[in-house]
Amino acid sequence: MKSRSIAGAILGVALAVGFVCVWKLQQKIDEERASLQLEKQELALRSPGVLKKLSLEYTPLMAAVYWTRVVQYYGEKHRMHDQNLELLWPLLDITTTLDPHLLVAYRYGSIFLSDRPPRGAGQPDQAVVLLERGMKANPDYWRFYQDLGNVYYFDKRDYAKASQAFEAGSKFPGTPPFMKIMAAKIAAEGESLETSYALWLDLYQTAGNQDVRKNAEEHLRLVKAEMDLRQIDRLADEFEKKTHRRPARVGDLVDAGLLPAQPRDPDGFPYVLGEKGHAEIHPKSPLREDWQKDKLLAQQVK
């Protein structure tokens, strides 16, 4: 009896030790595999048609699986700061072929595709293709026109087409007046900070997902900062007119009574004046990198 309980105890300990070894070994393998992981990410089946056939009668479930793969793929790349999102389009292509009525895949998929790196794949043309496919499969859904307008406005900077998209969407029964207003505003002004702010604000308020809302919020902060910078530049011009010299720092505007206090960006960092006396985002502000990229892109477009 005693020897049996001893044997049982030894077996229990041996099992526990064995599993600890397995756990440790797996960790080691995971570490070694991590270097292979980036190269390994592949799609075994790239043909949406074949996948649809193979899914038998379970295409909705497969569509849900592939959409989750899209979200996970995008999230993982974002987390790893990896800007190579080459599988994003094939995954979205498969998802929307498996279920052409999965609206969420078109809406968020187009944001993932069109947004500029490092946030998105920087493929606005593919986003347009995706949304046009969505419109064809779901002709009664007006939100796609808003999404298309956003892609043309923010990413392709094609204001005529952006206005057309909002205009086309506004003709659907039950669409909010916002669509018609945006169509007219973009047609009249092209790009303006107020329009950008309104578009991001609507996305922020209507997005059902926290990540998309967070993305919209980041853009809103950036637009808000850009509005502040322009206001500071205007005041700096006024200061120059009065004193015949460009202010050396933002504090000069406060001292002259043009600003009530040192203005700060949405992250709490004070704005600064650059070498040429133009307002800039503080070098330590998290917004600075995105702001510089936006500025560069705007110059390239010009």
**Which amino acid is residue 224, in one-letter code?**
K
**Which amino acid is residue 2, in one-letter code?**
K
Residue closer to another protein by CB (options 61, 80) is 61
- Residue 201 CB, shortest distance to another protein, in Å, is 20
The contact mask relative to another protein for 100-119 (x = CB under 8 A, - = no) is -xx-x--xx-----------
- Binders of another protein among residues 57 to 96 (CB under 8 A) are 57-61, 63-64, 67-68, 71-72
- Residue 160 CB, shortest distance to another protein, in Å, is 31
Q: How far apart are CA 285 and CA 267, in angstroms?
A: 7
- Binders of another protein among residues 165 to 224 (CB under 8 A) are 208-209, 211-212
Residue closer to another protein by CB (options 23, 58) is 58
Residue closer to another protein by CB (options 19, 58) is 58
Peptide bond into 283 cis (omega under 30): no
Q: How far apart are CA 211 and CA 189, in angstroms?
A: 30
Binding window for another protein (CB under 8 A); candidates: 36-44, 52-60, 79-87, 193-201: 52-60
Interaction between residue 50 and another protein (CB under 8 A): no
Residue closer to another protein by CB (options 59, 175) is 59
Instruction: Give contact residues for another protein (rule: CB under 8 A).
Output: 53, 56-61, 63-64, 67-68, 71-72, 99, 101-102, 104, 107-108, 208-209, 211-212
